[in-house]
Amino acid sequence: MTSRKIAIMGAMPEEIEPIISKLENVETMVYGANKYYEGHYHGQKVVVAYSKIGKVFATLTATTLIEKFGCDTLLFSGVAGAISDELQIGDLIIAKSLCQHDLDITAFGHPFGYVPEGEVFIPADATLLNIAKDVAKQKELTLKEGIIATGDQFVADEERKNWIGSTFKADALEMEGASVAVVCNALNVPFFILRAISDSADMDASFNFDEFLESSAKISADFVLSMVDELGQ
């Protein structure tokens, strides 16, 4: 598996800075109005980028990592808001599957999150999920697995949060994961989305997000780098 070229994505600088700081022989390339950092981690080829916030930028960055840089595996490291009461700030959740909570053509008789020739839920790669569970055991970390909902909204509203939870049976929400899943699914690239909880997507979300963004992002980044080690075995 050492021949892999691994893409590591985040949405914000805070989500990838802990990763870039640990790379060797880093070269920076600007492409599509974004920066890509190509280097090595313990001998493994990696390309790291933050997309900027939201589904469109995440789609552009994921596609570029695969088509321009030739990455054949994509790992996403970042933060998310909790929907499930079982998730606390700092907890780690891996996406079993992802959906778009703001995609709505129900006027045409379709369920929320669905477009023709698409699907509501896109599953993450089973092998990468199993590797993540092994890493969690090695680190003696609790790792939750569930559905992550994506939308172009920072949710800080209890009613909206509860609606997303009940409609999609989602455990956490964020603004990029499902678009990365769509790209990787279409291009047959195994992907994995890891999120550390930074807030509870309610009235206190914006306050908690600012306070816990950096610490939660470091937790997620450290975990993803451990996965890179496992993929290089």
Which residues are 146's β-sheet partners? 95
SS3 8: strand
Burial of 130 (0-12, 13-18, 19+ CB in 10 A): exposed
Whether 44 and 231 have beta carbons less than 8 Å apart is answered as yes
Residue 104 Cα to chain centre, angstroms: 22
Tokens of 33: 């109005």
Which entry of 15, 171, 174, 176 is annotated as an active-site residue? 15
Cβ neighbours of residue 69 under 8 Å, at least 6 residues apart? 5, 7, 36, 38, 47
199 is catalytic: yes
Decide: 173 and 202 in contact? Cβ < 8 Å. no
Token readout for 162 is 């509860």
| Amino acid (1-letter code) at residue 160 | R
Distance linking the first and last C-alpha atoms of the chain: 7
Strands (E), the chain: 5-10, 24-31, 34-41, 44-50, 73-82, 92-100, 122-123, 143-150, 172-174, 191-199
Is 15 marked active-site?
A: yes
List the catalytic residue out of 38, 91, 174, 199.
199
Cβ(64)–Cβ(36) below 8 Å: yes
Q: Is the dihedral of CA 172, 175, 179, 181 positive or negative?
A: negative
Q: Which residues are catalytic?
A: 15, 199
